[in-house]
């Protein structure tokens, strides 16, 4: 197999190979390597949130293509929901189309993490992005030729979910290969900024495309956007990987999956962070899921007001991501994580009580800011402590929680509870649970406070 090229500005780092492991012996984990991209004093003093893009050609290629592709993805999300409503006129089916893609992530994420640790991550991401291109193209052709049905929407959403189950952990774990450990936190924050930029721009562009050209062309533009990310991935040049261990014996996939789960359970820092992430993923989702109901029933606004509320979340999230990329290395991240947890929960309590569209928008700006701080800090802290040999499996567990549990469990529970007690009590109650858990977790787990 042909090795990946090594660019002059990203020198290859080749530690001596580990000795062969006897069959049945425990799997060794190599100590964390030093970064291939050491920071200069000027880098450490800089407040430029985009300095990681400037320093790392590979990350620049990845981020540009990924952000363009995410704009297309948000266009498709909006257009797919509208198309489902036109085809069925059923809120249940609209919700099913929106959520069914998360089910494969819930089921397949953990095995996908094993695969991400076994094969080159760049290759796996490229294959899965190509599969998503095929799915988007099929959706465009079916819609354009007027052959699309609810059945096809469900099938294609499921196919996209299967691809995402394998792509997400590989992409998250690949980040350290693009920037090294010193810039990992800033790269994760910038990745979040691209996501939130797309969340603001994508639906706006999608609405304009639907009004002028029709729904089918939202899917066509999304398919074209995958060409941008695939072009960026094709231009990335990583150092040739050095295996952690000589291939004396390869454990089974189940054994490796259990090894990853044992690492999460038995490592105090990781266990505490994953519990915190789980609580905030499940109880932090109701305000997003129930936003249309909040807009119509509590704030008495229409579709335009709903779009403004979503845009406020995206703008706040973009601001939070850029703030973290700019000054995150100057602050103790454990303390910042605690502050973001408390702020996020308190702002959602106030949002549940608000009945003014202006006040709700301002609160959502703050909630989006705190939400992205919370998620990006947790992701970065997890990746800063995990050994490279387990990185794919840890990111698979992370996507299992953040995408799978949040969408399948959190969204379902939020809708059920809102039907019983009302949308304001659902959002406010979930926020109170987050607030109480933050107080308990940081009091019980001092390792969370000490994290840097």
Residue 353 has pLDDT above 90, yes or no: yes
Q: Confidence band (pLDDT; 50, 70, 90) for 20? A: very low
Q: Which of 76-80, 117-121, 302-306, 390-394 has the lowest mean pLDDT?
A: 302-306
Asked if pLDDT for residue 68 goes beyond 70, the answer is yes
Region of residue 294 (phi > 0: left; psi between -120 and 50: alpha; otherwise: beta): alpha
171 in Cβ contact with 65 (< 8 Å): no
Mean pLDDT within 417-427: 88
Q: Are 398 and 382 in contact (CB under 8 A)?
A: yes
24 or 375, which is more confident: 375
Q: Is the dihedral of CA 341, 344, 348, 354 positive or negative?
A: positive
Residue 41 belongs to a domain: no
Q: Looking at 218, 237, 256, which one is the last position of a domain?
A: 237
Kindly state whether residues 59 and 143 are assigned to the same domain. Answer: yes
Q: What is the DSSP string of 279-290?
A: HHHHHTSHHHHT
* pLDDT class of 290 with cuts at 50, 70, 90: confident
The CATH number of the domain holding residue 328 is 1.20.1250.20
The reply to whether 245 falls in a domain is no
Mean pLDDT, rounded, for 417-423 = 85
Do 190 and 306 lie in one domain? The reply is no
Closest alpha carbon to 71 in 188, 194, 191? 194
In a domain, 33, yes or no: no
Average pLDDT of the chain?
Answer: 83
pLDDT at 101: 85
User: What is the per-residue pLDDT for 440?
Assistant: 94
Q: What is the mean pLDDT of residues 315-319?
A: 90
214 and 299 inside one domain: no
Residue 403 located in a structural domain: yes
Which structural domain range is residue 419 located in?
Answer: 265-452
Residues 183 and 76 in one domain: yes
What band does 31 get if pLDDT is binned at 50, 70 and 90? very low
The yes-or-no verdict on residue 210 having pLDDT over 90 is: no
Asked whether residue 1 is assigned to any structural domain, the reply reads: no
Res 8 pLDDT > 50: no
Last residue of a domain, one of 199, 217, 237: 237
Tally of CB atoms within 10 A around 284? 27
Residue 223 has pLDDT above 60, yes or no: yes
**Least confident interval from 32-46, 119-133, 281-295, 369-383:** 32-46
Vertex 434, ends 430 and 439: CA angle to 5°?
Answer: 150
User: What is the total residue count of the chain?
Assistant: 452
pLDDT at position 274, please? 93
Instruction: Report whether pLDDT(420) > 50.
Output: yes
pLDDT of residue 249: 54
Instruction: Give residues with Cβ within 8 angstroms of 267, minimum separation 6.
Output: 385
pTM: 0.77
Q: Is the pLDDT at 33 greater than 60, yes or no?
A: no
**What is the predicted pLDDT for the residue at 291?**
83
Phi–psi pair at 9, nearest 5 degrees:
-85, 0
Q: Are 17 and 243 in contact (CB under 8 A)?
A: yes
- Residue 449 pLDDT exceeds 80: no
Residue 310 has pLDDT above 50, yes or no: yes
DSSP, collapsed to helix, strand or coil, labels residue 236 as coil
In a domain, residue 247? The reply is no
User: 212 with 281, same domain?
Assistant: no
Is residue 36 over pLDDT 80?
no
Residues 151-205 pLDDT 10s: 999 999 999 999 999 999 999 889 989 998 888 888 888 888 888 788 788 888 8
Same domain, 343 and 394: yes
Same domain, 426 and 315: yes
Mean pLDDT calculated for residue range 292-312? 81
pLDDT (0 to 100) of residue 276: 94
In this structure, the answer to whether residues 141 and 277 fall within a common structural domain is: no
Q: List the Cα angle 405/165/135 in 5-degree steps.
A: 120
Q: Which residues contact 345 (CB under 8 A, 6 or more apart)?
A: 431, 432, 434, 435, 438
* Total tally of structural domains belonging to the chain: 2
Taking residues 294-311, report their average pLDDT.
81
pLDDT level of residue 452 (50, 70, 90 thresholds): low
Distance CA 267, CA 425 (A): 36
11 compared with 71, residue with greater pLDDT: 71
Q: Could you tell me where the beta strands, DSSP code E, fall in 72-143?
A: none
Does 172 lie in the same domain as 123? yes
Query: Rounded to an integer, what distance in angstroms lies between the CA atom of residue 137 and that of residue 225?
Result: 11
**In the predicted model, is pLDDT for residue 275 greater than 60?**
yes
- Nearest by Cα to 204 from 218, 224, 219: 218
Task: Tell me if 7 is assigned to some domain.
Answer: no
Q: What is the mean pLDDT of residues 102-124?
A: 91
pLDDT surpasses 90 at 439: yes
Q: How high is the pLDDT of residue 332?
A: 80
For residues 295 and 153, membership in a common domain is answered with no
Q: Based on the domain organization, do 272 and 411 belong to the same domain? A: yes
Report whether 236 contacts 415 (CB < 8 A).
Answer: no
Both 327 and 410 in a single domain? yes
What tens digit of pLDDT does each residue of 138-155 get?
A: 999 999 999 999 999 999
Are 368 and 237 in contact, with CB atoms under 8 Å apart? no
Q: How confident is the model at residue 412 (pLDDT cuts 50, 70, 90)?
A: confident
Percentage, residues of the chain above pLDDT 70: 85
Report yes or no: 326 and 43 within 8 Å, Cβ to Cβ.
Answer: no
**DSSP classification of residue 297:** I
């Amino acid at each position: 197999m042909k090795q990946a090229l090594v660019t002059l500005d990203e020198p290859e780092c080749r530690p001596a190979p580990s000795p062969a492991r006897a069959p049945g012996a425990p799997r060794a984990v190599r100590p964390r390597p030093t970064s291939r991209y050491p920071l200069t004093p000027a880098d450490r003093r800089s407040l430029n949130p985009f300095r990681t893009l400037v320093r790392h050609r590979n990350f620049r290629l990845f981020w540009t293509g990924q952000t363009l592709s995410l704009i297309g993805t948000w266009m498709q999300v909006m257009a797919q929901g509208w198309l489902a409503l036109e085809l069925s006129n059923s809120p249940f089916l609209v919700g099913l189309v929106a959520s069914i893609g998360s089910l494969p992530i819930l089921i397949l994420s953990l095995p996908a993490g094993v695969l991400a640790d076994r094969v080159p991550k760049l290759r796996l991401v490229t294959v899965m992005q190509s599969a998503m291109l095929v799915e988007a193209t099929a959706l465009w052709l079916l819609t354009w030729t007027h052959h699309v049905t609810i059945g096809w929407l469900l099938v294609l959403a499921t196919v996209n979910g299967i691809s995402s189950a394998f792509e997400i952990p590989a992409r998250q774990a690949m980040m350290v290969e693009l920037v090294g450990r010193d810039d990992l936190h800033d790269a994760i924050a910038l990745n979040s900024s691209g996501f939130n930029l797309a969340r603001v721009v994508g639906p706006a562009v999608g609405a304009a495309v639907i009004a002028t050209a029709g729904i089918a062309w939202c899917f066509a533009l999304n398919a074209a956007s995958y060409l941008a990310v695939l072009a960026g991935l094709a231009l990335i040049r990583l150092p040739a990987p050095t295996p952690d261990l000589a291939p004396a014996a390869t454990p089974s996939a189940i054994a490796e999956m259990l090894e990853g789960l044992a690492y999460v359970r038995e490592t105090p820092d990781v266990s505490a962070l994953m519990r915190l992430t789980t609580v905030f993923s499940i109880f932090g989702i109701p305000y997003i899921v129930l936003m249309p109901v909040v807009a119509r029933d509590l704030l008495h606004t229409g579709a335009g007001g709903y779009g403004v509320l979503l845009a406020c979340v995206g703008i706040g999230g973009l601001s939070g991501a850029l703030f973290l990329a700019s000054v995150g290395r100057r602050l103790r991240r454990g303390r910042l994580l605690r502050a973001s947890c408390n702020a996020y929960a308190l702002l959602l309590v106030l949002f549940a009580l608000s009945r003014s569209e202006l006040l709700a928008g301002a609160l959502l700006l703050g909630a989006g800011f705190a939400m992205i701080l919370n998620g990006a800090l947790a992701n970065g802290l997890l990746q800063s402590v995990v050994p490279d040999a387990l990185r794919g499996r840890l990111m698979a567990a992370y996507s299992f929680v953040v995408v799978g549990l949040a969408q399948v469990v959190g969204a379902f529970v939020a809708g059920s509870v809102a039907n019983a007690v009302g949308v304001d009590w659902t959002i406010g109650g979930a926020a109170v649970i987050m607030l109480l858990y933050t107080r308990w977790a940081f009091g019980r787990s001092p390792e969370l406070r000490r994290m840097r």
